[in-house]
Amino acid sequence: MARDEQLKKRWEDVVTLISKRFADGEVLDLDAIIYIIGLQEFGRVDRKFGKDDKINLMHIAICRLLEPFGFYEFDYFDEEGWPHYKILEKLPPLKAGEQSVLMKEAIVHYFLERDVIH
């Protein structure tokens, strides 16, 4: 199977799995999946999140997702339990479609690491 075809199939597997688990089968988009990963990485779902918190959760997810690609490195947890990352390498300028592909690759990698998909 070609690399692009494999990514597409694995991405569809992730979307199906996460949509069934968190949205009663309603298809979730890339941003929603990033948000859910942010919740997972933060680890505390026992509270309500404001708008700024939701943005921070997505930032945490993006940092965590791009960490294996060498762009970020985990630094520390603050006193409220929020993870912080430091930038190792600035992301190259990417077009919207390229950003989307990079994030899908990173999300697929994230779920492969955890043996959630194969």
Tell me, what's the pLDDT at 118?
81
Tell me, what's the pLDDT at 103?
97
Tell me, what's the pLDDT at 2?
75
Tell me, what's the pLDDT at 1?
60
d(CA 15, CA 27): 7
Q: Is 92 strand, coil or helix? A: coil
Tell me, what's the pLDDT at 91?
92
Cβ(51)–Cβ(58) under 8 Å?
no
Question: Average pLDDT per run of 10 along the chain, which is 118 residues long?
Answer: 86 95 92 96 86 95 97 96 95 92 97 90
| Single-letter code of the amino acid located at 115 | D
Six-digit token pair at 91?
A: 């992301």
Tell me, what's the pLDDT at 4?
86
Tell me, what's the pLDDT at 12?
95
d(CA 23, CA 38): 16
